[in-house]
Amino acid sequence: MDAAEKHLEELARTGYTAGFVTDIEADTVPPGLDESVIRFISAKKKEPAFMLEWRLQAYHKWLRMEVPDWAHLNYPKIDYQAISYYSAPKSAADGPKSLDEVDPELLRTYEKLGIPVEEQKVLAGVAVDMVFDSVSVATTFRKQLAEAGVIFCSISEAMHDYPELVQKYLGTVVPQADNYFAALNSAVFTDGTFVYIPEGVRCPMELSTYFRINERNTGQFERTLIIADKGSYVSYLEGCTAPQRDENQLHAAVVELVALEDARIKYSTVQNWYPGDENGKGGIYNFVTKRGVCQGDRSHISWTQVETGSAITWKYPSCILRGDDSVGEFYSVAVARAAQQADTGTKMYHLGKNTRSTIVSKGISADRGQNTYRGLVRMNRGAENGRNHTQCDSLLIGDRCGAHTFPYIEVINPTAKVEHEATTSRIGEDQLFYCRQRGLSEEDAVSMIVNGFCKEVFNELPMEFAVEARKLLEISLEGAVG
């Protein structure tokens, strides 16, 4: 290949700037799923016996379940026997004790993504638990957190070091057979994050995990469990990006949050997985189950998400408001462009008295993107004076995209109040012309209008995440108009 060709290839690659593949020897099982694969995973991770039992239960439930088809999504049938269910970078087998022991190739990957761990340690005060494929390879700030009594580690470590906590809470928010993808995750999850904040502790820093899908044909089945004990507080950041792929990659994560009395959990996500090419080819299929339970009185769970990536997004971070006076919040920006499809929203189950929930959903559709908001607000019999406010706004860019809204409202308690507002608008020629007349380029104008549209959600993100989210949105919508 001559220099000019190389240059061209370089240019072609920059289409998705995070699209590169790290070359690391992986310890991968052949594609396919049966009991032996689950035994392999459990043995590989030297799990306690109860975990193997639990996984096998989930597997048998999964076998009897059907793929949900109610979502406003269109994708080819997934062959679950074509997926490899275990992959771990080999260098992690011994378990690195510090960053120095981490495969430098991995660290370079994160640097390319603009996540230099060293810099983050100093600048942002964020502890990072990176998940590379399926095994956590680096954990920082462990010591500082330990002094506060905070446990922040991979879920595999938690099974060894805190089995009683894992056994007590795992699967209590999202049961094994909750849905097809959650059951699959329960059977085969290889790693994820575990957080425990002890009673009365305010976590001294924002906890963050960067996920990255890397191994070819490897389904990603992370499991996250966060427990905030009485009167504690934690803010958790989750951000993802993935290298470019030809095959579709399945991702079926489960996140469980438990907030005890007076505890507060703030969970923020910026998701930038490869959305596929113009036709959606090669993009990530993202089927995620995220749910939090406000177990104790006056507890508070807040979900904030900025979803720009993935070919398919199927995701409904939810709150079960069991404690009296508990509060659930959901703030979301979802972008669907090119051939992306997003079916996302939330569920708020009001069980306790005086429970309150707020839903703010901002859907942006461009090109042929299809964006669906699907939300359930349920006021149970015991939800005296329950309150919900839902605001659901859609922004259309161009005339080939779609926005769909499916709000489900179920109210059994007559004292409960539910409000729903919805708007759909189009980035108007008038708006663009106004901005351009004031000297702004069309791209800058679009980015400004979109950022304005998303402001209520961005305001909920931690500062440095909000900056990242804005940038991401700009990149995601480049060339969407015109």
Partner 1 sequence: MLSINHLHAGINGEEILKGLNLEIGAGEVHAIMGPNGAGKSTLSKVLAGREEYVVTEGSVRFLGQDLLALEPEERAHLGIFMAFQYPVELPGVNNTYFLQTSLNAIRTARGEEPLNSLNFMKQVRSKLRELNMDESLLRRSVNTGFSGGEMKRNEILQMSLLEPKLAILDETDSGLDIDALRIVADGVNALRSPERSMLVITHYQRLLDYIQPDYVHVLSNGRIIRSGDKSLALELEEKGYGWIKAQEAAA
Contacts to partner 1 by CB under 8 A: 428-431, 433-442, 444, 448-449, 451-456
Strand 233-241, strand 370-379: pairing: unpaired
Q: Which residues contact 327 (CB under 8 A, 6 or more apart)?
A: 294, 299, 300, 301, 302, 321, 355, 356, 357, 358
The nearest distance, CB 438 to partner 1, in angstroms, is 4
Rounded Cα–Cα distance for residues 416 and 441 (Å): 48
**Residue with smaller CB distance to partner 1, 6 or 455:** 455
What SS3 state is found at 450?
A: helix
The nearest distance, CB 470 to partner 1, in angstroms, is 12
- Whole-angstrom CA distances from 178 to 173, 286, 291 are 9, 17, 11
**H-run or E-run covering 142:** helix 142-148
Taking residue 375's Cβ as centre, other Cβ atoms within 10 Å add up to: 24
**Residue with smaller CB distance to partner 1, 273 or 458:** 458
Residues in the chain: 482
**Residue with smaller CB distance to partner 1, 56 or 435:** 435
The nearest distance, CB 469 to partner 1, in angstroms, is 14
Helices 442-453 & 429-437 angle (0-180, nearest 10): 120
**Residue with smaller CB distance to partner 1, 52 or 435:** 435
- Whole-angstrom CA distances from 93 to 36, 45, 48, 87, 101 are 21, 10, 18, 11, 11
**Residue with smaller CB distance to partner 1, 265 or 364:** 364
The nearest distance, CB 340 to partner 1, in angstroms, is 23
**Residue with smaller CB distance to partner 1, 203 or 445:** 445
- Beta bridge pairs of residue 267: 236, 303
The nearest distance, CB 461 to partner 1, in angstroms, is 15
**Residue with smaller CB distance to partner 1, 444 or 478:** 444
**Residue with smaller CB distance to partner 1, 74 or 441:** 441
Rounded Cα–Cα distance for residues 383 and 326 (Å): 11
The nearest distance, CB 443 to partner 1, in angstroms, is 11
**Residue with smaller CB distance to partner 1, 38 or 454:** 454
The nearest distance, CB 425 to partner 1, in angstroms, is 8
**Residue with smaller CB distance to partner 1, 391 or 413:** 391
Q: Which residues contact 344 (CB under 8 A, 6 or more apart)?
A: 305, 307, 313, 314, 315, 316, 332, 334, 361, 372, 373, 374
- DSSP assigned state of 161: H
The nearest distance, CB 171 to partner 1, in angstroms, is 40
**Residue with smaller CB distance to partner 1, 9 or 444:** 444
**Residue with smaller CB distance to partner 1, 50 or 433:** 433
The CA radius of gyration of the chain, in Å to the nearest whole number, is 22
Rounded Cα–Cα distance for residues 108 and 111 (Å): 5
Rounded Cα–Cα distance for residues 309 and 287 (Å): 13
The nearest distance, CB 431 to partner 1, in angstroms, is 5
Start-to-end C-alpha separation, the chain: 35
The nearest distance, CB 464 to partner 1, in angstroms, is 19
Taking residue 317's Cβ as centre, other Cβ atoms within 10 Å add up to: 26
The nearest distance, CB 359 to partner 1, in angstroms, is 18
Tokens representing residue 75 in the block: 């994708």
- Beta bridge pairs of residue 254: 223, 289
Contact between residue 457 and residue 331 where contact means Cβ atoms under 8 Å apart = yes
The nearest distance, CB 428 to partner 1, in angstroms, is 7
